[in-house]
Amino acid sequence: MQTPISPLLTALDLIGTFAFALSGAAAGIKHRADLFGMLVLAFVAATAGGLTRDLLIGAVPPAAISDLNYTFVAIAAGLILFALPRVARQVGPLVALLDAAGLAVFAVSGTDKALAYGIHPVSAAMLGMLTGIGGGIVRDILVNEVPIVLRRDLYAVAALAAGVLVSVGYGLHWPAAPTGVAAMLLCFVLRVLAIQRRWGLPVAPPEVDEGSGGDGSRPDRWES
């Protein structure tokens, strides 16, 4: 049985859907996908995380399937980017920024929805993180890239930080709207700074230094 979800939470979910759909479409342009391929990438990037979250908390059928607004928003985002070739040329920074925005919104909305379904705040924060990173993982796998979450720049940690802040605010009865906005800003700023300043968690050194490629060098700071 579905638990009633507030219009604000639904709006946040749709905003995150739009941002991640744009990132999926931009990744399609980067990898020379055709229009259909772009729309597929837009849809899976926008909905994979939310679908997984809804299945885990028992929100069935998942919102991305039962509410066609998610499909329409994802398709619209893909078509908009397809129609804006000048914007699409800036795919590196565009994918990174849109991905950071979608990550922030989904981390907060995912945590909020899990809390609305009575999930423990600790688990809710984890589900918020999963909501944020799920779409990016599927998108990167489809374009044959190592998912961002497995790279050194902070990604899942930024989403988890947002989820933790929302859960703490819930436990301490802080106002929901300001707490959610603060959590989104925290996630977005952490992600952007991690890209620009190359912040990351420690990585085990390779057993053999294979020339210049074994120094732990990273790709361009705006490559997603």
Between 223 and 171, the more confident residue is: 171
Average pLDDT value for residue range 132-144: 93
Averaged pLDDT of the chain: 86
pLDDT band at residue 93, thresholds of 50, 70 and 90? confident
In this predicted model, what pLDDT tens digit does every residue of 182-198 receive, in sequence order?
A: 999 999 999 999 988 88
- 216 vs 181: which has the higher pLDDT: 181
Q: Give the pLDDT confidence score for residue 1 in this predicted structure.
A: 45
DSSP string for the chain: -PPP--HHHHHHHHHHHHHHHHHHHHHHHHTT--HHHHHHHHHHHHHHHHHHHHHHHT--S-HHHH-HHHHHHHHHHHHHHHT-HHHHT-HHHHHHHHHHHHHHHHHHHHHHHHHHTT--HHHHHHHHHHHHHHHHHHHHHHTT---GGGSSBSSHHHHHHHHHHHHHHHHTT--HHHHHHHHHHHHHHHHHHHHHHT-B---PPPSS--GGGGS-----TT--
Instruction: Compute the distance between CA of residue 191 and CA of residue 116 in angstroms, rounded to an integer.
Output: 26
This prediction's pTM: 0.82
